[in-house]
Amino acid sequence: MYPRRCVVCDRPPGYGKMICPGCIGKLRVVRGPVCCKCGKPLRDESEELCKDCKRSKHFFTKGRSVYEYKSIRKSVYRFKYSGRSEYADYYGKAMAHYLGDTIREWDPDVIIPVPIHKKRMAKRGYNQSALLASGLARELGIPFAENLVKRTKNTIPMKELDAHQRQINLKNAFIVAPNDVKLDTIVVVDDIYTTGSTIDAVAAVLKDAGARDVYFVCLSSGASM
């Protein structure tokens, strides 16, 4: 057994701890004015929507994120690509702490992750969004469904693409697995919110399958607009 590591500095934070006390303040929580649709921090308080949401229609109803991406960028990278699946323990609890009241207001039937393709799953060994979603669902006592939506296409990493290419890349990338339960309200969980194109693609197939409202929560959100 290796000692667990701090999500910020990646060193052992001490027995029974998930983060060093001195590192807590280094993660910046999204506060102040946010876009009422996607939850991105806004520079101009008089605005209701960010630039992206003014420009484009979304399939999701609305969403919120916990941390400003810049303050968590390196940690998210290790969480996804360096095997630090244990970070999900701290981050799942943090999502419940900061967004629990909001999620309860939405009153979802189920919490699901943005799925990854089975090839990427085989390579990485875990889906970081599923770890976040299951931790969050457990904390809030809301059902978790890992495989309600499946990723059928192994898409190119989104960070290499612009907004239009992202949409093409995501076309027909997801399907809803057959299920007997009527799911009206669903919360989708992901690690990073940028343009919303991934969440939108998932929301679109869920709405096709009869969902009324698809909300999202992300661990972090991109730069303010």
Residue nearer to Zn ion on the CB measure, 4 or 151: 4
Identity of the residue, 23 or 209, whose beta carbon is nearer to Zn ion in the bound complex: 23
- Using the rule CB under 5 A, which residue among 4, 5, 6, 137 binds Zn ion? 6
Residue from 8, 30, 176, 211 in contact with Zn ion (CB under 5 A): 8
Distance CA 118, CA 154 (A): 8
The answer to whether residue 18 forms part of the interface with Zn ion (CB under 5 A) is no
Based on CB atoms, which residue is closest to Zn ion, 102 or 124? 102
- How many Å apart are CA 143 and CA 9, to the nearest integer? 33
Please state the closest distance from residue 14 (CB atom) to Zn ion, in A.
9
Q: How large is the angle between the packed helices 87-106 and 128-140, nearest 10 degrees?
A: 60
53 binding Zn ion? (CB under 5 A): yes
User: Is 20 a residue that touches Zn ion (CB under 5 A)?
Assistant: yes
| Strand positions, DSSP E, the chain | 63-68, 110-113, 149-151, 174-176, 185-193, 213-221
Exposed (0-12), middle (13-18) or buried (19+): which is 89, by Cβ within 10 Å? middle
Which of 7, 148 has the CB closer to Zn ion? 7
Phi, psi at 207, each rounded to 5°: -70, -40
Q: Which of 27, 30, 34, 38 binds Zn ion (CB under 5 A)?
A: 38
Residue 42 found at the interface with Zn ion (CB under 5 A): no
User: Rounded to an integer, what is the distance from CA 48 to the centroid of its chain?
Assistant: 22
Nearer to Zn ion, 10 or 146 (CB): 10
Which residues sit at the interface with Zn ion, rule CB under 5 A? 6, 8-9, 20, 23, 35, 37-38, 40, 50, 53
